[in-house]
Chains A and B, each alone.
Chain A
Amino acid sequence: MTGVARKQQMVSLNAASAVISRIITSNDAYAALGAYAHADASMQPALEKIALASARLRLIMASAPFAPPSLLDRLAQAADLQLALRLAKNPSTPPEGLRRLLRGAPTEPVRCLIAAHPQADAAILSGLSQDGAIRVRRAVSGNSQTPATVIRLLAQEDDAQIARNVASAPQADTQTLHRLWATADAWVRAEVAAHPNCSPNILAKAETSADPLIRRKCAANPALVPEVLQRLLVDPDDRVRAAAVRNPVVSGERLDQAGDPSASVRRLFARRSRLSPHLLARLTADPDVWVRRWIARNPDVPTRLLEQLARDTSMDVRRGVARNPACPAYLVDVLAADAEAWVRAGVALRPDATESVIAQLLDDTDRDVLSALGRNPRTPHANLVAIARHPDKDVRRSVAFNDAAPPDALIVLLEDDYPLNRALAAGCPGLRLWQIERFLDDPEPQVRFAAAARLARATLTLEPEWRS
């Protein structure tokens, strides 16, 4: 480490220490929680003491998805039934915390929750697959993390719900799926037909099944070969054709059924990329407004067709053009003067809107247009300050989502009457840290949490302000 780097690190540590000391002095649980994840390990025990000071706070923290995993793991070390239930429900509880809960011989509801937990790892799920309670084993079979070996074992159970879960489990192997195809009911067979690990043998049967549900699910299978998909694209059932058009394996270039009699199928065509020029033109002139709405958003549509869509009588089609990233500047200009505010709002959201378009829209009084300008990084700073002072709290809040918002605008928002606006502003990178510090005393917990998290994060990442 160079001398400069070492000096910077010392400054950072001193600044972090000052901020954490300030938070500790405030004795506020939400501020402590906000700072915890960013604090040095030596400072965490003091913050932990504040955040978990009472039984009520421990219950609140155990349920909070924004609580740091290490704190949740700490709570799991001495969890009673109520804490265990909350921790098992909390998606942020880490695998180690779940293991601690299991070591405490938890009740069946807690085991069910752990079996369904998104952070339960293969070892946890493997252990729970041997559980005596069928509800727990069902939960394991429905967990997308469950490994193939466990899925294979569970598939042997005579239980309809487990069969359904296994048929759609990402790790289900070909052998397991084959067994289910042979033994399970039509609903499970349909799930098998949709599974990417399904064998070609089963897919061949599913493709010609008399049951349209099975053909439909088969048409959605991403492992289908193009020839089979091509046959399903002309299936007599429009729901089967719709599933085939949705299938990501189908190349837009191979689709040529723009004349499909079903509008619902043509709407799906309009959502696909790499469509042929002929198909794009036909869809642009489609009598179904939803087809035109979809095609208006399609970035592959050439300018001359976008021109046509920009003149559409449907406001929603014109809005689609305004949101199309391929919309040329001269059409953006036209749409900026559209009679419908929702179309103008679509233009106001565009990061490529020109200065003149932004200036024109700033005269607008519609709140969706103004909110969109509040988010737009090209809106001039002085106008962002004005938007942050708008009478409508939803319009004011938009400035907090603008990465280019200047401190002047964010300071206005920090004084907002509406707590959510203050909390969002407190987390904005555009604010100076000394401006945030006083919000550690805000009456709203969400504001104190946001301010503490921002301060602690800033000190540890050595933001320039802390170097001087």
Chain B
Amino acid sequence: MAELLVIAGQRGGELLMSSLEAITAARGVKQAGDTLAVAIIAADPQAYVGALSAEGVDEVIAIKATDDFQPDLIEAAIMALAGARKPALIVTAHGVDAWSFAPAAAVKLDCGLATDVQALRREDGELVVTRAGYAEKVLVDVDFPGKQTVLLTIRTNVFQPASGSSAPKVTEMVPPTADIATTHEGWKSPADAGGIDISGAEFILSIGRGVGDESNVEQFLQLAGSMGATLGCSRPIADSGWLPKARQVGQSGQLAASCKLYIAMGVSGSVQHQWGMKHVENIVAVNTDPEASIFSIARYGIVGDMFEIAEELENHF
């Protein structure tokens, strides 16, 4: 019998969808007799109880404090909860928020830590998680021998958000005293993407310099539309103003976080572009240069003219 603890998050009074994904991740390794608790820090934590009462949740811990992002407060809450409850597992969403409290809490607790986790399972009753290593080139299985508590940050958009309903016990917790070293200046919304969702798209058709001219871009927008794909692009295309920046994939653009199929046409595959897409399981590269770097990460490669391939594809959709 063990306790599993999820640290949920909110932004500006709105529950982060990644909190429900963290519940799904924890629920996946919950065993008979285990309890799953979800903690939320907010100005009005009771307002989140309904949304967090997903299937498998046994308890919601409401910590009434602030809607501001205070990493020191979250770290102190984890410390307090871990000290009082000795959970076997603590799960929270991976991202810039978690970077500022999860590793620090793990060090102070002397517990196991794995970040950006993509999968969890039990092997002989022991927790084993999978994360990427060597800049996403390999998948690494991590276990935690001898650790009573393990803290995981889970990659977003990998686990389905928890659904269903339950009637969890609601526990109010006094916020712990924290040595607040940061000031919350306010929330800044990301730039309006005009309905373009590269990070949520499962199928992306992406174009690069090979497209040559602005007048040719329309052809690939049309092709992407007929194939049911979201059109993405490399940096030079967005820099030229030929496509909105919201469509840019890569280091200074978007991460193709949910993508299952990525067709790269006329994309050479710079390191910066690969940062946004090389984790995708199925990459199809089309390039006239057989030595283009994109082929080194592609599952399927076509050495050919992107316009000819596009015309052939148009004949099939």
Interface readout for B182-221 with A: 1 if CB under 8 Å, 0 if not?
0000000001101000000000000000000011001001
Which of B2-10, B15-23, B163-171, B236-244 lies at the interface with chain A? B236-244
B290 touches A (CB below 8 Å):
yes
Q: How many residues of B contact A (CB 8 A)?
A: 25
Contact call B291/A401, Cβ cutoff below 8 A: no
Complex-state Cα separation, A290 to B253, whole angstroms:
27
Q: Which of the residues A290, A294, A316, A397 comes within 8 Å of B239, measured between beta carbons? A: A397
Q: Which of the residues A216, A372, A418 comes within 8 Å of B241, measured between beta carbons? A: A372
- Chain A, range 218-242, C-beta contacts under 8 Å to B: 239, 242
A366 touches B (CB below 8 Å):
yes
- Chain B, range 225-264, C-beta contacts under 8 Å to A: 225, 238-241, 244-245, 248, 252-253
Contact call A290/B222, Cβ cutoff below 8 A: yes
Contact call B191/A367, Cβ cutoff below 8 A: yes
Interface readout for A399-432 with B: 1 if CB under 8 Å, 0 if not?
0010000000000000000101000000000000
Chain B: which residue is nearest A144 at the CB level?
B288
Shortest CB-to-CB span from A141 to chain B, Å, is 13
Shortest CB-to-CB span from A399 to chain B, Å, is 11
Decide yes or no: A293 and B218 within 8 Å by CB, A366-B192, A394-B238, A401-B239 being known contacts.
yes
For residue A342, which residues in chain B have a CB less than 8 angstroms away from its CB?
194, 244
B289 touches A (CB below 8 Å):
yes
For residue B245, which residues in chain A have a CB less than 8 angstroms away from its CB?
367-368, 371, 394
- Chain A, range 77-118, C-beta contacts under 8 Å to B: 89-91, 113, 116, 118
Decide yes or no: A294 and B218 within 8 Å by CB, A91-B289, A392-B191 being known contacts.
yes
Interface readout for A362-402 with B: 1 if CB under 8 Å, 0 if not?
00001110011001000000000000000011100110010
Shortest CB-to-CB span from A224 to chain B, Å, is 17
Contact call A116/B252, Cβ cutoff below 8 A: no
For residue B272, which residues in chain A have a CB less than 8 angstroms away from its CB?
420
Q: Which of the residues B218, B252, B290 comes within 8 Å of A420, measured between beta carbons? A: B252
Contact call B241/A246, Cβ cutoff below 8 A: no
Decide yes or no: A368 and B241 within 8 Å by CB, A91-B289, A341-B194, A418-B252 being known contacts.
yes
Interface readout for B117-138 with A: 1 if CB under 8 Å, 0 if not?
0000000000000000000000
Count of chain A to chain B residue pairs whose CB atoms are closer than 8 Å in the complex: 61
Q: Which of the residues A294, A368, A398 comes within 8 Å of B244, measured between beta carbons? A: A368
Q: Which of the residues B248, B253, B291, B311 comes within 8 Å of A246, measured between beta carbons? A: B311
Chain B: which residue is nearest A424 at the CB level?
B239
Shortest CB-to-CB span from A113 to chain B, Å, is 8
B314 touches A (CB below 8 Å):
yes
Q: How many residues of A contact B (CB 8 A)?
A: 39
- Chain A, range 122-178, C-beta contacts under 8 Å to B: none
Shortest CB-to-CB span from B170 to chain A, Å, is 41
Contact call A371/B241, Cβ cutoff below 8 A: yes
Interface of chain A: mostly helix, strand, loop or mixed: helix
For residue B177, which residues in chain A have a CB less than 8 angstroms away from its CB?
none
Complex-state Cα separation, A242 to B245, whole angstroms:
32
Contact call B290/A116, Cβ cutoff below 8 A: yes
Shortest CB-to-CB span from B78 to chain A, Å, is 32
Q: Which of the residues A297, A340, A366, A393 comes within 8 Å of B218, measured between beta carbons? A: A297
For residue A394, which residues in chain B have a CB less than 8 angstroms away from its CB?
238-239, 245, 248, 252-253
Complex-state Cα separation, A375 to B245, whole angstroms:
14
For residue A366, which residues in chain B have a CB less than 8 angstroms away from its CB?
191-192
- Chain B, range 282-317, C-beta contacts under 8 Å to A: 289-291, 311, 314-315
Complex-state Cα separation, A89 to B314, whole angstroms:
32
Decide yes or no: A393 and B252 within 8 Å by CB, A297-B215, A323-B214, A375-B241 being known contacts.
yes
For residue A323, which residues in chain B have a CB less than 8 angstroms away from its CB?
214
Complex-state Cα separation, A397 to B272, whole angstroms:
15
A44 touches B (CB below 8 Å):
no
Chain B: which residue is nearest A117 at the CB level?
B291
Contact call A89/B241, Cβ cutoff below 8 A: no
Complex-state Cα separation, A91 to B241, whole angstroms:
28
Complex-state Cα separation, A89 to B290, whole angstroms:
9
Complex-state Cα separation, A91 to B289, whole angstroms:
9
Complex-state Cα separation, A368 to B289, whole angstroms:
31
Q: Which of the residues B192, B214, B222, B239 comes within 8 Å of A398, measured between beta carbons? A: B239
The 7 closest A-B pairs by CB, nearest first: A89-B291, A372-B241, A349-B241, A239-B315, A368-B244, A367-B191, A290-B222
A-B contact pairs, 18 of them (CB 8 A): A91-B291, A216-B315, A264-B314, A290-B225, A341-B194, A348-B241, A367-B191, A367-B245, A368-B245, A371-B241, A371-B245, A372-B241, A375-B241, A393-B252, A394-B238, A394-B239, A394-B248, A394-B252
- A contact set with B: CB distance below 8 Å: 89-91, 113, 116, 118, 216, 239, 242, 246, 264, 267, 290, 293-294, 297, 316, 320, 323, 340-342, 345, 348-349, 366-368, 371-372, 375, 392-394, 397-398, 401, 418, 420
Interface contacts beyond A216-B315, A290-B222, A392-B191: sample of 6 additional A-B pairs, CB < 8 Å, sorted by A: A342-B194, A366-B192, A371-B245, A394-B245, A418-B252, A420-B252
